[in-house]
Structures are given as structure tokens and as C-alpha cells.
Amino acid sequence: MANRQSGGSNTAAGGAQRPNGAPQNKICQFKLVLLGESAVGKSSLVLRFVKGQFHEYQESTIGAAFLTQTVMLDDTTVKFEIWDTAGQERYHSLAPMYYRGAQAAIVVYDITNQETFARAKTWVKELQRQASPNIVIALAGNKSDLSAKRMVDHDEAYAYADENGLLFMETSAKTAMNVTDIFLAIAKKLPKGEQAAGAGQAQGRRITDADSAPRSTPNCCK
């Protein structure tokens, strides 16, 4: 099932088909997966990014959740297909199914909990070993609003991210700090132009006609 993604069935939200003749727009679609230890705030980051909401007692994710969000970058519409996963080690065996074929990943830890940072590192390793070779990985140190309880040093995480070629930001789903930014930073780093065509799995898909069956081949943007 590696690259047989489904989002190709989505409707073109902009571009040539727009009935009122609005200007054409590049549309790219990327699969992004969130990974990290339980209760670090994966779902909360997604909820903040997609709906602008924050729930103090966000319930645990069972199985996985799927959401989409669109951002505009210059003349490009970037549509994220976001897979939010369950964090507990027990459900680790499901994870490859969700990160397979992903062009981007956000690995989340909780700045108030050192163990979650260690877990984040193992996720990064696993992604580097098993996910698409061109995957864009971002490291998010979440719960930055709780800096009084900080257990993970910012500079240590920054240095780790730097060594491993990861994007890095400390985020807070609660205050919204850096939430949109981290997604935008990923969007900027993802290949979108024609020059990236043929780059393989890390390539977003151009969205075309809505009226065909679920597609199975990833395509590049125009």
C-alpha cells in the first residue's frame, strides 16, 4: 500500500476549474504524520493548526486521526494531509502504516519531560531508517508555555536537530506559539516546483480532476 494514497480524489479548490475565473494557482498536497510519546500534545498541535482550538483535556488518540489543512505560500496552495497517531509504545506496530509514504513528519516531545525527548530521538532514528528517504522531519518541543517546569534544554534539542538535519521549534498548542510556523516551515522546505519532479516519494501530488476514482500514483505539482 506504500504510495497508494487517496487524497487525489480531493476537489481542486483553486486553479483552472474555478467557475469564476480566479487566477490559477499551484496546488500541492503533502502527507504529514505526527509521532511522539503519549500525551506530548500531538493531537493538540493538529487541533490548534486545523481548527484554532485548544482543549485542556484533549482525549487520547486511539488508532489514528486524519485531518487536512491548507496554507498559502506565495502562489502555491499547500494542502497538508495530516495523520495523527496514538503515542503509546503498545501501538507502535501501527506507526509504519501511517508514516509510509509521508513527505513530512513532526516528531513531538514535551519540554517538561526528558523521557519524551529520548522517545522523540528514537522516532527520528526510525524515520531516517524506514520512512521515505526525502522525508522532511521537524522536531517540536511542545508545551513551551510550561517553561517553569522545563526539563529539556532548548539548546540541547536545537543542537540535536541541527546535527540530524531536522527543523526545530519549541511550540505551544495552548498559546498557539509557533504552531502555524512549524507547519509553514515544513511547507517551505517541501519540494514544490517542476525541478523537483521525479524526486520520488518526497514529492507532493498535484491535484487534478475530482471525478475519477481514488488515485494510486503520486504526482508532482505543476
Partner 1 sequence: MVLSKVVPRSLWNFRNHQARIHSSASSKNDTDMEGSLSPDLHHDCETDMKFEQRGVCQKFSVNGKRRKETILIPGNLSITENKYGEYIEWKPDESKVKNGNAEASSSGSKLGASGGIQFHASKGNERVEIKPDASSKEFLRPIKIELPEIRSFIVPPKANPREIIFILSDGTTLNPFIFERGSPENLVIALERSLRITKSRSNSNGLYMVGVRKESAPTMPPSGVLPHGVAEILGVLPPEHQHNVGQLWGFMKEMKNDPYATACTTLAKFGHMALNGELPINVFPGGSSTQVTDSVLRNGRLEESLNSDANELEADYTTNEEGYEVIFKPEKIGVELPPLTYFRTFRGQPLSQEQWLNYLDHEGRISNMNEIRQIVFYGGVEPTIRRHVWPILLGVHDSKSTYEERQCQLSEKTCYYNRMKMQWATISEDQEERFSPFRDFKSLIEKDVSRTDRTLDYFKGENSRGTDILRNILMTYMMYNFNLGYVQGMSDILAPILMETQDEILAFWVFVKFMDLIETNFEMSQEGMQRQLKDSYTLLQLVDPKFSAYLEACDASNMYFAFRWLLIWFKREFSFQDTLILWEALWTGLPGPNFHLFVGLSILEQHSTTIMENKFGLSEILRHVNDCNENRLRVNPHPS
Residues that bind partner 1 (CB under 8 A): 1-2, 4-14, 17-20, 22, 38-39, 48-53, 56-60, 62-74, 81, 83, 86-88, 90-91, 93-94, 97, 176-181, 184-185, 188, 210-215
- State in angstroms the smallest separation of the CB of 132 from partner 1: 15
Phi and psi at residue 135, to the nearest 5°: -60, 140
- DSSP letters of 37-52? STTSSHHHHHHHHHHS
Closest CB 158 distance from partner 1, rounded Å: 14
In terms of CB distance, is 184 or 196 closer to partner 1?
Answer: 184
Q: Where are the beta strands (DSSP E) in 9-75?
A: 26-36, 64-73
Cβ atoms 168, 155 nearer than 8 A: no
CB of 11 to partner 1, least distance (A): 4
Q: DSSP label at 212?
A: S
Least distance in angstroms from the C-beta of 196 to partner 1: 20
Cβ neighbours of residue 129 closer than 8 Å, sequence gap 6 or more: none
What gap in Å lies between CA 157 and CA 140, rounded to an integer? 9
Question: SS3 of 5, please?
Answer: coil
Question: Which is nearer to partner 1, 50 or 197 (by Cβ)?
Answer: 50
Residue among 11 and 198 whose Cβ is closer to partner 1: 11
Please identify, using beta-carbon distances, which residue of 171 and 198 lies nearer to partner 1: 171
Write down the least CB distance from residue 119 to partner 1, Å.
11
Closest to 67 in 3D by CA, of 54, 79, 56? 79
